[in-house]
Amino acid sequence: MRDLVRMNLAMRSYTHAELCEVLINPVTDQPISLQTFARVFAREIRTAKIELDGIAMAGFVKQLRRGNMTAFIWHSKTQWGWSERKGRQVQFALPALKTAADVVGAQSAITAAMAAGQLTPTEAAEVAAIVELSRRAIETVEIETQLVKIKQRIGIDDDGTD
């Protein structure tokens, strides 16, 4: 009985609940509960997992030795923390972003690249978001410059005193 339980657990043929339905308690003539199953077959549950892991690992190693790149990539991702680059590198001409006018030119270049099929709509939106960050930085510098000029005109020092 124990070997049958272990084998079914190792092969993942049946769930614990399904095994409980066919394992009859000889005293009550009723199927055993999940709690009884976990207590009585604790060793089989542990060894079945170890056996299944061993079978899977042996198959995995066999695939690696055969040069299976999918197995290698899976191992690299799960064991070494490797991940594929999200998205793709895109190359197209953008003006230097030094003024608000440059931002307008950059947005036009992005739109043209998308229309020409160089960028997908998603890629265009991602590049446009970076350009928008540059626009905000340019705007912040311009506002700060204007604020300094206003303070100088009305005679306020940077520390807020006259």
pLDDT digits (tens, 9 = 90+) for 46-80: 888 788 788 888 888 888 888 888 888 887 888 77
Mean pLDDT (the chain, rounded): 84
pLDDT of residue 161: 58
Long-range contacts of 66-71 (CB under 8 A, 24+ apart): none
Do the bridges between strand 30-31 and strand 24-25 make them parallel or antiparallel, or are there none, so unpaired?
A: antiparallel
Using DSSP, how many helices (H) and how many strands (E) does the chain show? 7, 2
Q: Are 11 and 19 in contact (CB under 8 A)?
A: no
